[in-house]
Amino acid sequence: GAGVSQTPSNKVTEKGKYVELRCDPISGHTALYWYRQSLGQGPEFLIYFQGTGAADDSGLPNDRFFAVRPEGSVSTLKIQRTERGDSAVYLCASSLGDRAIYNEQFFGPGTRLTVL
Amino acid sequence: QKEVEQNSGPLSVPEGAIASLNCTYSDRGSQSFFWYRQYSGKSPELIMSIYSNGDKEDGRFTAQLNKASQYVSLLIRDSQPSDSATYLCAAQKTSYDKVIFGPGTSLSVIP
């Protein structure tokens, strides 16, 4: 597709459940980022992939959060034992990464996660 | 101290005026800076990027960078009601590093 796509657009789950959020980046973009955004806040960095490997996962809040990008394209953010505090909009962005000097990111529409 | 700081606003300007949005960053090693616009309920949209000291103009938008003062700004000339949104400032060290966003400044352009 022309842009970054994310599925689902909305996810409602119960406390303690497991969820997976998917991101499909722009074709040819080697870098992929996950962010979390709460109301009235800027995007909070979670993890960054360059190709298949996680180049920086310093933003993952705890070991309940995990992300993969097995073939260097689609990525899945996985959250175990969800808590109400995990409720937020999860944004994915992609860029040319280390193929470019400058790293302009393009965002997907986001997944709104609500944990009841 | 947060890595990227912005006044949360709201900043209100009349239609046709110049809106001035400011951002400071703490990591002196930051090299690339970005301004994103985010409408309510939507995802951020890139409007400007700047990498060198000085001004960069694109239509009604001008980004200004002063690395010595660790300061980035965005000027919007001839502000329109459609410019009403939250403006996010972001900084990055190199293309191999994560991008850090500020909290955003809410802009309201009054007709």
Give the C-alpha distances (Å, rounded to integers) separating B79 from A28, B41, B85.
Answer: 35, 21, 12
Nearest to B95 among A42, A58, A98 (CB): A98
Confidence (pLDDT) at B98:
86
- Over residues B26-51, the mean pLDDT reads 94
Q: Give residues 89 to 108 of B whose Cβ lies within 8 Å of A.
A: 92, 95-104
Residue A62 has pLDDT above 70, yes or no: yes
Phi, then psi, of B81 in degrees rounded to 5: -55, -30
For an interface test with A, which of B27, B88, B95, B100 has the most A Cβ atoms less than 10 Å from its Cβ?
A: B95
Are A109 and B95 inside 8 Å of each other by CB? no
What's the CA gap between A82 and A65, in Å, rounded?
A: 9
SS (H, E, C) chain A: CCCCEEECCEEEECCCCCEEEEEECCCCCCEEEEEEECCCCCCEEEEEEECCEEEECCCCCCCCEEEECCCCCCEEEEECCCCHHHCEEEEEEEECHHHCCCCCCEECCCEEEEEC
- Is residue A99 within 8 Å of residue A72, measured between CB atoms? no
> For residue B104, what pLDDT band results from cuts at 50, 70 and 90?
very high
**Mean confidence (pLDDT) of chain A:** 93
Residue A103 has pLDDT above 80, yes or no: no
What's the CA gap between B102 and B73, in Å, rounded?
A: 13
The H or E element containing residue B14 is strand B11-14
**Chain centroid offset of residue B20 CA:** 9
What's the CA gap between A49 and B96, in Å, rounded?
A: 10
Residue A70: asked if its preceding bond is cis (omega within 30°), the reply is no
Are B32 and A44 inside 8 Å of each other by CB? no
Residue A1 has pLDDT above 60, yes or no: no
Distance from CA of A107 to the nearest CA of B (A): 6
